Amino acid sequence: MNLIESKVIQTKFEKEIFIDEISNIELSGFQYPNKNIPYYEMMVGVDLMRIRNNEFYGTKKSYFGLRITEDLQSIVVFDPDQQSIFAVKNELEKQAAIELIDYLLIESPKFKELVRKMIYNNKQTNVVSDIEIQEHKAKLSVLEGLLNVPNLDVKIAVQKKKIAC
């Protein structure tokens, strides 16, 4: 028998179930440090099955953001403006979402497999200019850091993303 790892967030109205499969995880929106933002940033999306009144209620994609310092020594989880995994949740429900994020970043074999695939694909990418080479190396370093999250300083505090005017 092949058991699949899953995590459940029990909310007031429903159960949000994450099944640990590569197809249920998305890494997107990679941003490089610049003069205004001194860290790497990316979004992590997870597909959640919704169960209400013991019946399937559909799926939804929820996101959380990662900010990784330029020296690749710490990660901060932040709350995105839209489709947040923390949206419409009380403190206990947010704690369950934090436990899911902790599981994804530190324990999930499928998250690690996805990151390894991204590293492999990134290494196969043909880069030409000096800027592309630098960005390519930086992205590889960040992805490789995600394989070793237990060795980093992870701050899982629900921080609202502030957008400069």
Each residue's pLDDT tens digit, 63-75:
999 999 888 888 8
Integer CA distances (angstroms), 70 to 14, 35, 76, 93, in order: 39, 12, 12, 31
Q: Is residue 128 part of a domain?
A: yes
Percent of the chain with pLDDT over 90: 65
Q: Is residue 64 part of a domain?
A: yes
pTM above 0.85, yes or no: yes
Under 8 Å between Cβ of 72 and 142: yes
Q: Is residue 142 part of a domain?
A: yes
Highest mean pLDDT among 14-23, 30-39, 82-91: 14-23
Domain boundaries, position 142: 6-160
The pLDDT assigned to 70 comes to 85
* Helix 130-146 with 109-124: angle, nearest 10 deg: 160
Q: How many domains does the chain have?
A: 1
Q: Is residue 130 part of a domain?
A: yes
Q: How confident is the model at residue 2 (pLDDT cuts 50, 70, 90)?
A: low
Cβ neighbours around 146 below 10 Å, total: 23
Q: Is residue 15 part of a domain?
A: yes
Under 8 Å between Cβ of 79 and 158: yes
Q: Is residue 165 part of a domain?
A: no
User: In the predicted model, what is the mean pLDDT of the chain?
Assistant: 89
Torsion region of 72: left, alpha or beta (phi above 0 gives left; psi -120 to 50 gives alpha): left
Q: Is residue 1 part of a domain?
A: no
Paired residues of 139 in beta bridges: none
